[in-house]
Structure 1
Amino acid sequence: MTKLSIYFFEPNSKNSEQIMDTLKHTFKDLGYTISKSHETADIIASVGADGAFLQAVRKSNFRNDCLYIGIGLENRHHMYVDFNYHNLQEIREVFKDPHFEIRHYPIIEVKINDHQLNYCLNEFTIRSNLVRTMLMDIYINDFLFEHFNGDGLVISTPTGSTGYNKSLGGAIVDPLVNAMQVTEMGSVNNNSHRTLGRSFLLSRERPLSIVVDTSIEYYPIMSMDNEALTVQNIERIQVRLSDDNIKTIRLDNNTFWHKTQRNFL
Structure 2
Amino acid sequence: MTAHRNNIYLFYKKNEKILANLSSLHELAEQNGFNIVSTMKEANIIAALGGDGTFLQAVRKSGFRDDCLYAGVTLDEQPSFYCDFNIDEKEKMVEAMTNADIEVRRFPIIEVKVDQNPPFYCLNECTIRSSVIKTLTADVYINDLHFETFRGDGIVIATPTGSTAYNKSINGAVVDPLMDCMQISEIASLNNNTYRTLGSSFILSEQNSLTLRLGSYQNLNPIVGVDNEALNIQQLEKIEVKLHHQKIKTVKLKDNSFWRRVQRTFL
With the length of structure 2 as denominator, give the TM-score of the two structures. 0.95
- Of residues 66, 69, 78, the one that matches 1:67 is 69
Alpha-carbon distance between aligned partners in 2 of 1:23 and 1:114, rounded to the nearest angstrom: 44
Give 5+ residue unaligned stretches, structure 2.
none
Per the alignment, residue 56 of structure 1 pairs with 58
**Hey, what's the Cα distance between the residues in 1 that align with 2:31 and 2:59?**
26
For this pair of structures, how many residues does the alignment match?
Answer: 264
Residue type of the partner of 2:106? Answer: H
Tell me the residue number matched to 2:26. Answer: 24
- Deviation, structure 1 residue 131: 1.0
Cα distance in structure 2, aligned partners of 1:88 and 1:250:
14
Asked if 1:189 corresponds to 2:212, the answer is no
Residue matched to 2:94: 92
The whole-number CA distance in structure 2 between the counterparts of 1:99 and 1:246 is 18
Shift of 1:97: 2.3
Q: What are the Cα deviations for residues 117-146 of structure 1, in whole angstroms up to 9, with x where unaligned?
A: 100000000000111211100000011000
Which of 233, 251, 254 matches 2:253? 251
State the percentage of identical aligned residues: 45
Describe the SS at the equivalent of 1:114: coil
Q: Counterpart in 2 of 1:2?
A: 3
Q: Secondary structure at the match of 1:244?
A: strand
SS at match of 1:151: strand
The question of whether the paired residues in 1 share the 8 Å contact of 2:215 and 2:238 is answered with no
Distance in 2, Cα, partners of 1:14 & 1:57 = 20
Q: Name the SS of the counterpart of 1:161 in structure 2.
A: helix
Per-residue deviation at 1:98?
Answer: 4.5
- Aligned to 2:117, the other structure's residue is in SS state coil
Q: What is the CA distance between 1:162 and its match in structure 2? A: 0.2
In the alignment, the residues of structure 1 paired with residue 219 and residue 200 of structure 2 have an alpha-carbon distance, to the nearest angstrom, of 27
Structure 1 runs, 4 residues or longer, greater than 6 Å off: none
Give the 3-state SS of the residue equivalent to 2:177 in structure 1. coil
1:136 and 2:105 correspond: no
For 2:113 and 2:8, how far apart are their aligned partners in 1?
A: 31
Q: 1:124·1:223 contact (CA, 8 Å) conserved in 2?
A: yes
Q: Matched residues in 1 for 2:233 and 2:132: separation?
A: 16
- CA RMSD after TM alignment: 1.3
Q: Does 1:261 align with 2:263?
A: yes
Matches within 5 A, 1:149-160: 149-160=151-162
Provide the C-alpha distance between the structure 1 equivalents of 2:167 and 2:217, rounded to a whole number of angstroms: 29
Match of 2:231 among 229, 232, 236: 229
Write the distance in 2 (CA, Å) between the matches of 1:196 and 1:163.
Answer: 21
Larger CA deviation: 125-134 vs 48-57: 125-134
Q: Distance in 1 between matches of 2:189 and 2:3?
A: 55
Which residue number corresponds to residue 45 of structure 1?
A: 47
- Among 202, 205, 214, the alignment partner of 1:203 is 205
| 1:213 CA displacement | 4.1
Q: Deviations over 1:163-191 (max 9, x none)?
A: 00000000000000000000000000112
- Partners of 1:188 and 1:213 lie apart in 2 by 19
Give deviations 1:73-95, integer Å, cap 9, x for gaps. 11111000010011122223222
Structure 1: state its 5+ residue gaps. Answer: none
Structure 2 letter corresponding to 1:151: D
Superposition pairs of residues 155-166 of structure 1, within 5 angstroms = 155-166=157-168
Aligned residue in 2 for 1:14: 15
AA partner of residue 220 (structure 1): P
Q: Distance in 2 between matches of 1:154 and 1:118?
A: 15
Task: Quote how far apart the aligned CAs of 1:244 are.
Answer: 0.5
Deviations 1:210-257 (A, max 9, x none): 001444343111110001111122000000000011001232211111
Q: 1:40-87 deviations in whole A, cap 9, x for unaligned?
A: 211000000100000000000000000000011111110000100111
Correspondence for 1:180: 182
Q: Partners in 2 of 1:215 and 1:7 — Cα distance?
A: 46
